[in-house]
Structure 1
């Protein structure tokens, strides 16, 4: 039986009189690529924020299973705690340290699992130096695996837009996640870049044995890569299924794909 990595149980997020997410029940299974789609304001990023600890849901629970037979209620936990448990995310708006190099951006992410304390780091005690050496070796390996080693010394801000998107994903990978949440990874990309990103997402899922949950507006990417899709409308799930089922769902066709029902 395939393990469920993440599930939301009746998650509701209310801001005053506005219900941004309403009774959300999502199941993400190991090694799947799941997409959450819907128009602007549908509640997609709010759902991500509920899962990653940015918000505490008004109602409901978020359950994470990092290993077989182990379940953790992560509802309302701090984002840093959730990241340490093995859930990483990217953001719709790129959040790199733009004046730091590619290498430094990824190295900073490795500090999430640093065991040495502040004093050990300040005085560069043997335990910290050993950890630092291991982290730098991990960064070198990772950058080579994702073909960013050649630009390791370039400032993040100097990279082309598409490469900045890749770097943000790679920085998330540096935290060694089991579940990776991607918030509109193809935003601002042209069709060629989107096609390349589609293949990159598939490759990192397989290479790093990841489970991926993404928000995306590019329907070509969503339909090409997703195992299952959830569709939100005003915070409520209106459809779920594989790409073929979503493409043939009349309500989805009319509201989201912009196709004529008689086409």
Structure 2
């Protein structure tokens, strides 16, 4: 991979899982990383780790469901580093359950974070990218939108909605100004299961995590690969699964 010394990259969901792994990897590659998530203490610990290894990192406590928060993340990148080259949208939640459970509050939360959170990122970063003449949206989606399974109907729906938004944005941006990349991981060792309130489903997901889930850095490598392409090359979609995942 080439040096990312000239890149400024903002990352949502950066306090854990794929977001944190991506921050570490891109920070090591030389990028200036702007870390956003709700847990400020975890962000600061990660930023100190990156800076301790010679990298550049700043933090912004945000909730992606709040449009103003996401605008602050983007503005921090521009204020502190002069530009924003890539927005990695990694924030997501998955309080999955059968439709019959009628957990409407969980449905709303997934729509707010998984879908609206991505839209807020596009809304915040698009003017900056257009002013600069280029910018790249890299978004963590999910294989749950590719293979529909019981208990994941609403979760998968939010991810498929994001996939549709990104493809629409791609087709509207063929002037070479904007690139979009959707990365769909399968089982990855993250805190995904922590938001699941159904004990049986939480145990099932936890078993899969323990037995064959990927390390988050495997997904971060894919993010790095997509960003590392020459500007005239756009990696539109990538799916990353454990080889034993059905």
Could you tell me the TM-score, scaled by structure 2's length?
0.35
Q: Which has the larger Rg?
A: 1
Higher relative contact order (CA 8 A, sep 6+): 1
Could you tell me the TM-score, scaled by structure 1's length?
0.33
